[in-house]
């Protein structure tokens, strides 16, 4: 797989894992759903918490891969901003 396709795949995975972690985080946030009038008695919090945890781990791993793939660019931009 060439680098552009790999970057695209990693970025797509970051988007999906971010959305999963963000949405489940909003659901888990204490009192948020009740404060906007959503009934929370039927929500499976154990499964939501599991999805939240795993999507957060996936996002963290994908961030590391993203940094590794773009390391040369990060170094070049850092040198440009802060000098050699």
**Rg over CA atoms, the chain:** 18
Interatomic CA distance for residues 56 and 84, integer angstroms: 35
Mind listing the pLDDT tens digit for each residue in 16-60?
A: 999 999 999 999 988 888 888 888 888 899 999 999 999 999 999
Task: Compute how many other C-beta atoms are within 10 angstroms of the C-beta atom of residue 48.
Answer: 15
How many alpha carbons lie under 13 Å from residue 26 in its C-beta half-sphere? Answer: 9
Per-residue pLDDT at 17:
98
Residues 4-19 have pLDDT tens digits of: 999 999 999 999 999 9
- Integer Cα distance of 53 and 83 in angstroms: 40
Give the three-state DSSP class for 76. Answer: helix
CA–CA gap between residue 37 and residue 2 (Å, rounded): 48
């Amino acid at each position: 797989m060439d680098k552009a396709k790999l970057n695209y795949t990693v970025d797509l995975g970051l988007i999906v894992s971010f959305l999963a972690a963000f949405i489940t985080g909003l659901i888990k946030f204490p009192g948020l759903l009740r404060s906007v009038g959503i009934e929370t008695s039927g929500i499976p919090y154990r499964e939501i918490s599991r999805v939240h945890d795993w999507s957060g781990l996936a996002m963290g791993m994908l961030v590391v891969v993203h940094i590794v793939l773009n390391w040369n660019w990060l170094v070049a931009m850092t040198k440009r901003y802060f000098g050699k």
